[in-house]
Amino acid sequence: MTRPFNFSAGPAAIPEEVLTQAAAEMLDWHGSGMGVMEMSHRGKEFLSIYAQTKADFRALMAVPPEFKILFMQGGGLGENAIVPLNLSRGGKIDCVVTGSWSQKSQKEARKYAQVHIAASTEASGYTRLPDPASWDLSSDANYVHICSNETIDGIEFQTLPDLQALGSKAPLVVDFSSHVASRPVDWSKIGLAFGGAQKNLGPAGLTVVVVREDLLGHALDICPSAFNYETVADNQSMYNTPPTFAIYIAGLTFQWLKHQTEGDLHGIAAMEQRNIAKAELLYSAIDQSQLYFNKVDADCRSRMNVPFFLRDESRNDAFLEGAKARGLLQLKGHKSVGGMRASIYNAMPLAGVQALVDYMHAFEKSQA
Amino acid sequence: MTRPFNFSAGPAAIPEEVLTQAAAEMLDWHGSGMGVMEMSHRGKEFLSIYAQTKADFRALMAVPPEFKILFMQGGGLGENAIVPLNLSRGGKIDCVVTGSWSQKSQKEARKYAQVHIAASTEASGYTRLPDPASWDLSSDANYVHICSNETIDGIEFQTLPDLQALGSKAPLVVDFSSHVASRPVDWSKIGLAFGGAQKNLGPAGLTVVVVREDLLGHALDICPSAFNYETVADNQSMYNTPPTFAIYIAGLTFQWLKHQTEGDLHGIAAMEQRNIAKAELLYSAIDQSQLYFNKVDADCRSRMNVPFFLRDESRNDAFLEGAKARGLLQLKGHKSVGGMRASIYNAMPLAGVQALVDYMHAFEKSQA
């Protein structure tokens, strides 16, 4: 039986191979007599899973040795507080607002830091990215925050800003929750990156934080110990009990990613090529249609989250019902934006996007 | 094949029926075409799991309607900060220190509150509970914190203190992580209770918080939104993406608990009877032996976590090796205490404790 195609924005589709292996090992992991959920996080079985998962992420994402990889809890919204608690030093930070997520981040950061909005596209309705050359960066910011892929608005930085070239000495903080592992990352431009796992890495309840070592050790006194990056790093992400099963599923996902190929490419490079092909297929179907449209400037459209609208919104429910009948699930847009949204993360094959495009054509034709 | 018996202190054994069902539903939950991990937390499928899980916990634990049930992240160590951020109002709190966990709690609370130690058994090496009549309770405390079961030290409150009868008007905060759902709870004595799920409720990465409504709305300004109880309550535990799969496993565990019976008893009452029988079997084997001993006063020994020592510590490794060979896993004591620890949570059947006792007899005999 073919599984339906699941376009959820997160929690989102997991590769079938990952789920199959997790099911097979549920009661007995590698002859240990225990399922992964039942293992002490300090036992040799789980420690081996943890070490492999961390090493695989480092290798896949080419994370340089001067960065620590932390497995935490609380998701992106948790990090909106945890980042300024650890990095703001109670002083100034620069925020670039390009959609719903970076908007939430700057609001939360105001509890702990003096927030300066270096650029915002709110007035445009979040349909474009502000040119970095125009950003009003502070000379004394402790960091600059961006969201490199806005899940709700469907906007993605195609290249990260080079803060040094823009005259800022601050480290760049990147919320890459919804496109992590979909493309290579230029770590030379980054001080810290964080992402909830539930889009491209695994299940909800795990947050991956990648932080340059020199940024550790400056947390505010009011930072909870469980969310102090230095404490978490010093304890190998086991200061508090980590979300062990979520880490295991992320690890299986990394194994799956390692084995993906496109021509001569493998791993993240292969995923990027596949993701480009998926996004081009979907956006060109939208752009060529009379019924569907997308509001985002072409040069910053997200490869992962594709919001689109029907020109006749009264047909929304019919569109969704027909999609579901064809096994195309969770296409309803975010409540704050409306319309439709197709999230086409790594686990979505090209065949799934093709099935969606075929359905969109057929639906449009049936409306004529 | 019989599964080994897993005595881990947490993450800990999960009922086999729960794991079997989770494995069977991993790729397709109830014909939805999605695994639970892949569902949007805002879709009707997951919302039905969430509602059932919450309702089952309320029914099983007889949680009165004036209490909110919250599903959060960060574990017990996270709550050590989150509780004072929400309830201390920046003023005074009373802490009762009876072991490693309540010790950690009071230390962390000092970041946010003026901590008064109302009682401590540190001098006794945490082998007894202080008589509540002797507690030095403050007239102006915003809450009184206890850990009702000390996982590392093996100490349990057999009845909760009645603060009102002791002359305190403060609400009681209870860390019940390691014995939640093992016995009924007297909610009339409680303002807030919290527990990490990874002992008796499910997998690591989920924290259950039960809080009386009148205690909401007093968080400090510096409380992260994702950990503000009122925000979490107002958003049905979905302000940030909840740990959906962990909630689902907890829900399956609650279903399993509902169906447990002992004679005329069912649910938590049945579990309590079974847990009493398990604990009596193990403690009496320890007390009657010449080789093993437990240091805790008989009236406050934990039914869940049974630390014990060999009088000849040079035999520790041999004891553990022999246990493993018999399928008795994860018996090594906490590194801060040494010796052995058998955690015999709800998922541990009487047969598992019997197998441990049989092995302990045989091992002792072999040493004679």
Does residue B11 have a cis peptide bond before it, meaning omega lies within 30 degrees of 0?
Answer: yes
Averaged confidence pLDDT in chain A: 97
Q: Quick check: A237 pLDDT over 70?
A: yes
DSSP state of A156: E
- The answer to whether B49 touches B246, Cβ cutoff 8 Å, is no
CA distance B120 to chain A (A): 23
User: What CATH number labels A17-257?
Assistant: 3.40.640.10
Domain spans, chain B: 17-257, 262-367
Task: Work out the average pLDDT over A339-350.
Answer: 97
> Which of B30, B37, B206, B240 would best serve as a mutation to test chain A binding (most A beta carbons within 10 A)?
B37
**B222/A112 touch (CB, cutoff 8 Å), yes or no:** yes
Of the candidates A79, A339, A346, A49, the residue with the CA atom closest to the CA atom of residue B227: A79
- The answer to whether B41 touches B73, Cβ cutoff 8 Å, is no
Write out the H or E segment, with its range, that includes residue B17.
helix B16-24
How does pLDDT run across A283-326, given as a tens digit for each residue?
999 999 999 999 999 999 999 999 999 999 999 999 999 999 99
Q: Kindly list the strands in the beta sheet with B292-293, ordered across the sheet, starting from the edge strand earlier in the chain.
A: B292-293, B305-310, B340-343
**CATH class label, A261-367:** alpha beta
The vertex-B324 CA angle with B320 and B329, nearest 5°, equals: 90
* Sign of the dihedral defined by the CA atoms of residues B309, B310, B311, B315, in that order: negative
B131 is known to lie in a ligand binding site:
no
- As a whole number of angstroms, the distance between CA B232 and CA B174 comes to 19
Share of chain B above pLDDT 70, in %: 99
Share of chain B above pLDDT 90, in %: 98
DSSP state of B27: S
How does pLDDT run across B141-179, given as a tens digit for each residue?
999 999 999 999 999 999 999 999 999 999 999 999 999
* Sign of the dihedral defined by the CA atoms of residues A55, A60, A64, A68, in that order: negative
The per-residue pLDDT for A176 is 98
CATH architecture of B262-367: Alpha-Beta Complex (3.90)
The per-residue pLDDT for B1 is 46
Taking the Cβ of residue A123 and every Cβ of chain B, the question of whether any pair is shorter than 8 Å is answered with no
From the list A54, A68, A199, A295, the catalytic residue is A199
**B246/A205 touch (CB, cutoff 8 Å), yes or no:** yes
How does pLDDT run across A47-69, given as a tens digit for each residue?
999 999 999 999 999 999 999 99
- The answer to whether B163 touches B137, Cβ cutoff 8 Å, is yes
- The answer to whether A238 touches A91, Cβ cutoff 8 Å, is no
B316 is known to lie in a ligand binding site:
no
- As a whole number of angstroms, the distance between CA B214 and CA A79 comes to 28
Per CB-CB distance under 8 Å, the chain A contacts of B237 are: none
Taking the Cβ of residue B240 and every Cβ of chain A, the question of whether any pair is shorter than 8 Å is answered with yes
- As a whole number of angstroms, the distance between CA B7 and CA B9 comes to 6
- The answer to whether A3 touches B236, Cβ cutoff 8 Å, is no
Taking the Cβ of residue B74 and every Cβ of chain A, the question of whether any pair is shorter than 8 Å is answered with yes
Two tokens, residue A140:
């004394």
Q: B186-194 long-range CB contacts below 8 Å, 24 or more apart?
A: B186/B159, B186/B160, B187/B62, B187/B63, B187/B64, B187/B67, B189/B160, B189/B161, B189/B162, B189/B163, B190/B160, B191/B87, B191/B143, B191/B215, B192/B83, B192/B87, B192/B143, B194/B76, B194/B79, B194/B83
**A226/B81 touch (CB, cutoff 8 Å), yes or no:** yes
Residue of A nearest to B205 (CA): A243
**B27/A16 touch (CB, cutoff 8 Å), yes or no:** yes
**A77/B13 touch (CB, cutoff 8 Å), yes or no:** no
ipTM beyond 0.85?
Answer: yes
Taking the Cβ of residue A78 and every Cβ of chain B, the question of whether any pair is shorter than 8 Å is answered with yes
Q: How many CB pairs under 8 A join A and B?
A: 221
Q: Where are the alpha helices (DSSP H) in chain B?
A: 16-24, 44-61, 75-87, 100-109, 229-234, 244-258, 267-287, 316-325, 350-367
Task: Work out the average pLDDT over B308-313.
Answer: 97
**B74/A28 touch (CB, cutoff 8 Å), yes or no:** no
How does pLDDT run across B105-122, given as a tens digit for each residue?
999 999 999 999 999 999
Taking the Cβ of residue A8 and every Cβ of chain B, the question of whether any pair is shorter than 8 Å is answered with yes
The per-residue pLDDT for B3 is 87
Write the burial class of residue A324 (CB in 10 Å: 0-12 exposed, 13-18 middle, 19+ buried): middle
Q: Where are the alpha helices (DSSP H) in B209-266?
A: 229-234, 244-258
- As a whole number of angstroms, the distance between CA B4 and CA B324 comes to 9
The SS3 assignment for B192 reads strand
- As a whole number of angstroms, the distance between CA A17 and CA B22 comes to 16
The per-residue pLDDT for B368 is 77
- The answer to whether B95 touches B118, Cβ cutoff 8 Å, is yes
- As a whole number of angstroms, the distance between CA A344 and CA A301 comes to 13
How does pLDDT run across B207-226, given as a tens digit for each residue?
999 999 999 999 999 999 99
Which of B26, B243, B327 minimises the CB distance to A33?
A: B327
Q: Quick check: A233 pLDDT over 50?
A: yes
Q: Grade residue A368 by pLDDT with cuts at 50, 70 and 90.
A: confident
Residue of B nearest to A8 (CA): B40
